[in-house]
Amino acid sequence: MQVVLASGNQGKLKELQRLFTPLGLDVITQQSLGIAGAEEPFATFVENALTKARHASKQSKLPAIADDSGLVVPSLGGAPGVHSARFAGDNATDADNNQKLITQLFDSNGQPIKATSAHFYCALVFVTAADDPAPVLATGRWFGEIQYQACGDNGFGYDPYFFVPELQLTSAQLPAADKNRLSHRGQASAKLLPQLSELFG
C-alpha cells in the first residue's frame, strides 16, 4: 500500500521508509506526485501535522503521514516552535536560524542572558483518508540545552547547537542510528508503529 509523506524532505523519507517497509507500506513524497505543501497556520505542531496529512491525502486520494517538528526553548516563550524552519524569515537557511537563536540567548561577549534548556518536539499523524475521523497520532520530546558553539557535522537545522547532557554530545555529533533512536522523531515513530501494526494487522 502506498502512503504519501506530506513533505519533500528526503531525510524524513528515508527514515520513514525504513520504519514502514516491514508493515508493507510504501512511502512516497507528495513532491513526487506534484502536490504542493499545505499552509501551516496553527500555533501547535499537532494541528499543523494533521492539516498537512489531510491535505496530502485529499490531493493524492491515498493514506498520508505528516510530521511537524521543531525546537522549543522555554526561556524564549517556546520559540522557535512551529516557526523553527523559518525562524529568521521565510527563506532562512539553517545558519540564519541558528544565528538568530544564539543572538537571542547570548550577549555579544558570548555570555548567556537567558536559560538555555530546550527540547525538540515532534508530532506524527497518519490518516487513512482526508476525512479520517480517527487519525493516528504520536508525539515525542527530546530534552537538552542550547550551547553557544556549533559542534558536529551530522544532522541539520539546530542539531549542531543542541547539546544532550547525559551523552555529552550535540545531536550533530551522534551517529545516525543513535540519533534516530533517541530523537523526538524516533520516539514518535516508535509510538506510531505499534498503532499502525494494529490498524493494518
Cell of 196: 499502525
The pTM (predicted TM-score) of the whole model is 0.90
- Between 103 and 111, the more confident residue is 103
Residue closest to 25 by CA, chosen among 13, 35, 37, 10:
13
- Between 61 and 16, the more confident residue is 61
pLDDT (tens digit, 9 = 90+) per residue, 135-154? 999 999 999 999 988 999 98
Q: Is 83 helix (H, G, I), strand (E, B) or coil?
A: helix
Q: Domains in the chain: how many in total?
A: 1
- Between 10 and 168, the more confident residue is 168
Give one word for 122, left, alpha or beta, with left for phi > 0 and alpha for psi -120 to 50. Answer: beta
- The answer to whether residue 177 scores a pLDDT higher than 90 is no
Are the beta carbons of 106 and 149 closer than 8 angstroms? no
Q: Indicate if 68 belongs to the active site.
A: yes
Average pLDDT, the chain: 91
**What is the structure's pLDDT at 92?**
93
CATH number at residue 129: 3.90.950.10
**What is the structure's pLDDT at 198?**
87
Scanning 67-200, the segments in alpha helix (DSSP H) are: 94-105, 176-182, 184-200
Q: Is 142 helix (H, G, I), strand (E, B) or coil?
A: strand
pLDDT band at 162 (very low <50, low <70, confident <90, very high): very high
Q: Is 133 helix (H, G, I), strand (E, B) or coil?
A: coil
- The answer to whether residue 15 scores a pLDDT higher than 80 is no
Catalytic residue among 26, 67, 68, 94: 68
Domain holding 157, by residue range, is 2-200
Q: CA 105, CA 146: separation in Å to the nearest integer?
A: 9
